[in-house]
Structure 1
Amino acid sequence: MSTVGQKITTAYASSIGRTAYLWGWPLVNMHNRLSIMEQVPEPGLIGGIVPAGPPNHIGMLHDYIRPEERVVACPNQDVVYGFGSLDAERGPAVVQVPDFGDRFWVYQIVNQRTDSFVELGKMYGTVPGHYLLAHDDWDGEIPEGISGVFRYDTRIAIVIPRVFMDDTAADREDIASIINQITVYPLSDFDGSMKTVDWSKVPVFENGEQGAGQGETQWVDPNTFFDVLPAVLKEIPALPGEEGLYAWFQTVLEASSKDPQIAAALREAAVEADATVQELFEFRNFGISVPGNWTTQRSGAQFGTDYLMRTAVGKSNIFVNTPNETTYFYQDLDEDGRRLDGSHHYEVRFETGELPPVRGFWSLTVYNKHHFFHPNELDRYSLGTKNQGLVFAEDGSLTLYIGGAKPGSADQLPNWLPAPDEEFSLFLRAYWPEDSVLEGSWTPPVAQRR
């Protein structure tokens, strides 16, 4: 039964408005990111740092992401990234997969709900070729030479290739020819050939307001959230069981379009709900608790109706992989529950045989209180598989040292991660994790304050 036209109170509108904000925050985030990609004239680098392209294209880096990046929180300096958006209204797109050899790689491609709808990566045994990314409603002819088709049901999607690279000059040279074959372009440009782009020689675009400040670009403004939500509801079909939720939202939106008091109540509700979203930015405030005050989550990029986790991850570290591709462990606290603070020294000790069990790679990263890298003279932000100079103890254990103005001793330097002289967080990634990680029988060691 339709509820459009029903008389409602401002109190009712406020109640529904808070729910809508917490539910729709990641979806509006994605909508607004497309508006930025639409301003990019061709594949290149925003601000000389962030890979981007117009809709149905991507940009690629040719080295690690730089610490000045502010478009996506919790970046990773173990992989070479690409980034771009899909717009179903512009038709299908083709994504190229080169021959990566034995190198770890994975393409994350998520719909507007930030849920993955592809399986492209080393863990899937994907063969080199061209793959089609098309909306469910597209019924065009699939040309010869397409190796596979992946469908999505929302207007917008995001494409993020990740390719592992050792932190060596030799691997930077070796990876270049592979990276140059990673690209996305409209189906109309497909001719069956493996196209190449020299990603070290692409245009640089002004970043405008993107990346200004210490925190992530503000992709969602509570003051304009309900101006954008009507378009978002049209872009994203209701999941099974969400029909009633959509009807609720449509009722208050329709009322707000006619009643300034209802519109004002919704804006106020969004501002109030945004305080809750800000709380979800802190890793210790969401997820599944595991030993040592770490938290994790097991629904990344497959959130479905897990709205709490979808919004928490969207705010704190959006664009995570599915757990079988990458398992994430988050840490704000030391072993005694005290907030991590770079004015102190910490140790994370992996006992013999207890390194993160992965078939891909692992890393431990330090993020500042804004979930970005802490610039330092070593230009070092993470340690793990990519680092060939890590020093192991005679018994095979590995201790990583974090924080303090300098290492506790000179012999700790190869295993030392600089941290800001204030609150910071640790972030452990396990790419292509073994079952012991997925099942929870392996968890990271504690962060011990020294």
Structure 2
Amino acid sequence: MTKIGIFAGAFASVAIVHGAAVFAESGLTADEISEIAKDATTYALPMLMNYGIMYEYAVDVGGKQYKAPFNSLYSEANVFTYKDRAVVTPNSDTPYSFVWMDLRAEPMVLCVPEVEKSRYYSVQLISQYTYNFGYIGSRSTGNEAGCYAVAGPEWSGDTPKGIEKVFQSGTQFALGLFRTQLFAASDIDKVRAIQAKYSAQPLSKFLGTDAPTAPTAIDWPKIDKDLAKHDPFGYLSFLLQFAPAVGIFEDEKPLRAKFASVGIEPAAPFPSKPLTDEEIAGMKAAAAEVQKEVASLGKLVNGWQISEGLFGDRKMMGDNYTLRAAAAVAGIYGNDSVEALYPLAKQDADGKPLDGSTGKYTLTFPAGELPPVNAFWSVTMYDGKTQLLIENPIGRYLINSPMLPDLKTGQDGSLTLYIQHDEPSDPDQKANWLPAPDGPIYMVMRLYWPKKEALSGTWSPPAVTKVQ
């Protein structure tokens, strides 16, 4: 199981671990403790899922998923495949570059080169809460070259010379997630050339000034399946020390006080204590609410779940922590709707679960009704159980708009995708084949920089139809 899966699973199926509940010390009733644990669970889940990814990518040196240390930009030379298992529902359209930023001592500066106007790129800035607190890129800042600063929650000052804009994170650690559009396999060298021009450096180095005192080293708690079940709130206490309730987060102080009343407070000893029966009950109730929220996200249109406002910043999402947790479970690090829209499909036109072991399916876009986008669109296949990309004989994980010249269209100009586990025998169908798992199917349609007809609902994705 991946580190991110360990935390999601820990909250979904809590082990019964009896602890010594000392209610007299807190002055709280069993019901009050259960309710606080419920709130803490929904609050913590996306933060812990994020920690699982950060730990694998930037902390666990020598681990299979390790990429680079903090404040060092790392670029994937290729798109994600079935071998990449740290993040659920990964994008396989755009090679990723990323930098895990430690903002405790000073801001980081991210610089981007001029990118040709026909190519989409974006830099998504994500806090430890999993809020998207800023964007750089084609839609937000254009394709011109520029440098941008990313500051921690307690930084203040004027915009430094040579910096286009300062983005402020709500947490002291943050992720800069770069996406660079790949037009075709033959285009990969051009993408790599763009990636080589992305840069990340401390502000002092950018300005040529003396560096501030280095922050203290951190003893990162290892991620263990049993410990995640027995002491998930210990991880939350650890993470809260990097997420001060300042600025727009000051309204969380009463909630943090409730957490502290049951021992969940910044930098509390780790591991902390066994869960009480009341805390377990609260966690189970919260997990059920999150799963219910995931199942009902957005509106159902032709079998596709379409959600707006699923991802965004703290101002937009407010204190809806259940929605924040559900969004992370559905697909952590999703973009704001204006940046990318994500229709999700787990069922066919008749409302029955999609399953590659029992059926073959088609998805037909009528002539002139392809997804309306300013950048590009794609339909990606995942294993319905793990939400990860699946191994298949042709190494195809998606079909997207850059592939249109190689796809077969009907005489009426329509485009039909063939969704099945076994390879089609018909050559035209094979050209449009999206390999499916031998079991439950989970598909994600991505509309990058969607047009207003997609955001308003004027355009809707067509239904996935089972072949009779």
TM-score normalised by the chain length of structure 2:
0.81
In structure 1, C-alpha distance between the alignment counterparts of 2:227 and 2:129, rounded to whole Å: 15
List gaps (5 residues or longer) in structure 1.
193-208, 211-216
Aligned residue in 1 for 2:232: 225
In structure 2, C-alpha distance between the alignment counterparts of 1:330 and 1:315, rounded to whole Å: 13
State yes or no: 1:311 paired with 2:322: no
In structure 1, C-alpha distance between the alignment counterparts of 2:440 and 2:447, rounded to whole Å: 24
1:327-338 equivalences under 5 Å are 327-338=341-352
SS in 1 for 2:228: coil
In structure 2, C-alpha distance between the alignment counterparts of 1:30 and 1:270, rounded to whole Å: 22
Matched residue type, 1:291: V
Q: How far off is 1:151 after superposition?
A: 1.2
Residues 385-418 of structure 1 show CA distances to partners (whole Å, capped at 9, x for unaligned) of 1313111122221111101412262220111111
State yes or no: 1:375 paired with 2:375: no
Aligned residue in 1 for 2:179: 162
Q: How far off is 1:350 after superposition?
A: 0.5
Residues 201-224 of structure 1 show CA distances to partners (whole Å, capped at 9, x for unaligned) of xxxxxxxx99xxxxxx97992322
Q: How far off is 1:11 after superposition?
A: 3.6
In structure 1, C-alpha distance between the alignment counterparts of 2:285 and 2:69, rounded to whole Å: 32
Residues 132-159 of structure 1 show CA distances to partners (whole Å, capped at 9, x for unaligned) of 1112422467543222211122122111
Aligned counterpart for 2:448 among listed residues 425, 431, 437: 431
State yes or no: 1:287 paired with 2:297: yes
Aligned residue in 1 for 2:258: 248
Aligned residue in 2 for 1:414: 431
Change (3 A) 1:145 1:7: same
1:94-133 equivalences under 5 Å are 94-102=109-117, 103-126=119-142, 127-133=144-150
SS in 1 for 2:288: helix
In structure 2, C-alpha distance between the alignment counterparts of 1:365 and 1:394, rounded to whole Å: 25
In structure 2, C-alpha distance between the alignment counterparts of 1:18 and 1:67, rounded to whole Å: 34
Aligned counterpart for 1:53 among listed residues 61, 68, 90: 68
Residue pair 1:67, 1:374 contacting (<8 A) in 2 also: yes
Residue pair 1:367, 1:425 contacting (<8 A) in 2 also: yes
In structure 2, C-alpha distance between the alignment counterparts of 1:396 and 1:135, rounded to whole Å: 51
State yes or no: 1:65 paired with 2:80: yes
Residue pair 1:56, 1:93 contacting (<8 A) in 2 also: yes
Aligned counterpart for 1:272 among listed residues 249, 265, 284: 284
List gaps (5 residues or longer) in structure 2.
1-23, 209-221
State yes or no: 1:28 paired with 2:48: yes
Change (3 A) 1:142 1:36: farther
Change (3 A) 1:306 1:358: same
Aligned residue in 1 for 2:199: 183
> Mean alpha-carbon deviation: is it higher for 52-61 or for 4-13?
4-13
Q: How far off is 1:182 after superposition?
A: 1.6
In structure 2, C-alpha distance between the alignment counterparts of 1:59 and 1:424, rounded to whole Å: 31
Aligned counterpart for 2:312 among listed residues 293, 301, 316: 301
Aligned residues: 416
In structure 2, C-alpha distance between the alignment counterparts of 1:172 and 1:36, rounded to whole Å: 26
Which structure shows the higher strand fraction? 1
In structure 2, C-alpha distance between the alignment counterparts of 1:46 and 1:286, rounded to whole Å: 36
